[in-house]
Amino acid sequence: MLDGRSLVKRTAGLRLWLSAGWLTALVIGAVFAPWIAPQDPLMQDLFTSRLPPFWMDGAEPGYWLGTDSLGRDVLSRILYGGRVALIVALIAGTATALIGATLGLIAGYYRGWADMVISRLVDIWMAFPPVLFAILLIAVMGTGLTSVVVAIIVIDWTRFARVVRAEAMAQGAMDYVASAQIAGRGRMSTLLTEILPNVLSTITVLLTLEMGIAVIVEAILSFVNLSVSTDDPTWGGMIAEGRLSIHQAWWVLVFPLIALFLTVLSFSQLGEGLKDRFDPVLN
């Protein structure tokens, strides 16, 4: 007989491992890009322009995934582009989680006027269309990595605030919180030792999802040329350029697209996998 629970657990485990595997490879590739990358990602050479990937006729050794119309190595550019993507994911994701979760915890546990102010702010904030918001912000702050990160934080902190607030509120109503209070625990200390450990799994899941979102947002902004300077390789930028020569050199477009797709998918699968792992019913 097929045991549904163990099947669910096994596929969940597989998803977790696959996505963790891809992300680990990506991190290693990005961190060690200067040593791993076969070519200088910025070096242009018209004699090697539009070389196809290694398995096709006309491929050159050392250019595994081919070159773009300026003769730059696609694999090397993907590795360096991964750096930008991961830095944005890490910084923007963490900062968004930190800000949103802190406000959510305060609103959900302290309630009262703090909750009123924070919840109202969240409501007002969410009334703005996010992409417009981001473009407006970058228009004001100028392009660059910092702007991208700030834009992501500004748009997405509400997601954390809302979910964490609801969770903190539910935990705050539990008897063990009352017990801590009877035992003379202060509010702050109760928040940190009793509530926080119980919302940490939610925060972690949201954080992983947020990192995926950050990678997409960065790709979109670099696609429309609002991210880092045009010289630095980014996946979004590569996709934008690859689009122009899709008929002559599809690989310039397809490989960064695959990298982007796998990364975003991995982050979201990692989040889902962690959620299952934290779910006590399935454990």
Partner 1 sequence: MSFLKIRDLSVILRGTNHRLLRGVSLDVGATEVMGLVGESGAGKSMIGKAVLGILPRSARIVGGSIELDGVDLLTLPPRQRRHLIGQKAALIPQDPLTALNPARRIGPQISDRLVDILGWDKARARARAEEILHDVHIPQPDRVLRAYPHELSGGMRQRVLIASAFAAEPRLIVADEPTTALDVTVQKQILKLIFEMQARHGTALLFVTHDLGVVSKICQRLTVLYGGLVMEEAEVGAFFEAPRHAYSRALLAATPRHTDPTADLTPVPEAVIAEARRAVAEADQRWHA
Those residues whose C-beta lies under 8 Å from the C-beta of residue 42, and which sit 6 or more positions away, are 72, 231, 233
**Alpha-carbon span 79 to 25, nearest angstrom:** 10
148 φ/ψ angles, rounded to the nearest 5 degrees: -60, -45
Minimum distance, C-beta of residue 210 to partner 1, in the bound complex (Å)? 22
Among 180, 207, 215, 259, binds partner 1 (CB under 8 A): 180
Six-digit token string for 63? 């250019």
Closest separation between CB of residue 106 and partner 1, Å? 15
Q: Which of the 8 DSSP states describes residue 60?
A: -
Please report which helix (H) or strand (E) contains residue 69, including its range. Answer: none
> In the set 1, 4, 183, 247, which binds partner 1 (CB under 8 A)?
183
Binding segment for partner 1 (CB under 8 A), chosen from 35-43, 94-102, 127-135, 181-189, is 181-189
How many Cβ atoms are within 10 Å of 248's Cβ, its own excluded? 10
Q: By CB under 8 A, is residue 176 in contact with partner 1?
A: yes
By CB under 8 A, which span of 79-87, 97-105, 144-152, 197-205 interacts with partner 1?
Answer: 197-205
Tell me how far, at minimum, the Cβ of 172 lies from partner 1, in Å. 10
Q: How far is the CB of 182 from partner 1 (least distance, A)?
A: 5
Does 174 engage in binding with partner 1 (CB under 8 A)?
Answer: yes
**Contact residue for partner 1 among 24, 181, 229, 230 (CB under 8 A):** 181
Nearest to 152, CA basis, from 193, 105, 210 = 210
Q: Rule CB under 8 A: say whether 1 interacts with partner 1.
A: no
User: Given the rule CB under 8 A, which of 81-89, 159-167, 182-190, 238-246 is the region that contacts partner 1?
Assistant: 182-190
Query: For residue 119, what are the β-bridge partners?
Result: none
User: Which residues is 73 bridged to in the sheet?
Assistant: 67
Q: Is 197 in the site for partner 1 (CB under 8 A)?
A: yes
Q: Does 200 bind partner 1 (CB under 8 A)?
A: yes
Name the residue among 133, 123, 101 with its Cα closest to residue 200: 101
Q: Cβ closer to partner 1: 195 or 249?
A: 195
Which among 125-133, 196-204, 226-234, 260-268 is the span making contact with partner 1, rule CB under 8 A? 196-204
Which residue number, 24 or 189, has a Cβ lying nearer to partner 1? 189
CB of 103 to partner 1, least distance (A): 20
Rank residues 140 and 182 by Cβ distance to partner 1 and give the closer one. Answer: 182
- Tally of helices (H runs) and strands (E runs) in the chain: 11, 0
* HEC letters along 31-54: HCHHHHCCCCCCCCCHHHCCCCCC
Q: How far apart are CA 276 and CA 283, in angstroms?
A: 8
Query: Do residues 41 and 74 lie in contact, with contact meaning Cβ atoms separated by under 8 Å?
Result: no
Minimum Å gap between C-beta 184 and partner 1 is: 3
List binders of partner 1 among 105-144 (CB under 8 A): 111
Smallest CA-to-CA distance from 203 within 278, 148, 114, 150 is with 278
Where along the sequence are the contacts to partner 1 (CB under 8 A)?
A: 111, 174-176, 178-186, 193-194, 197-198, 200, 280
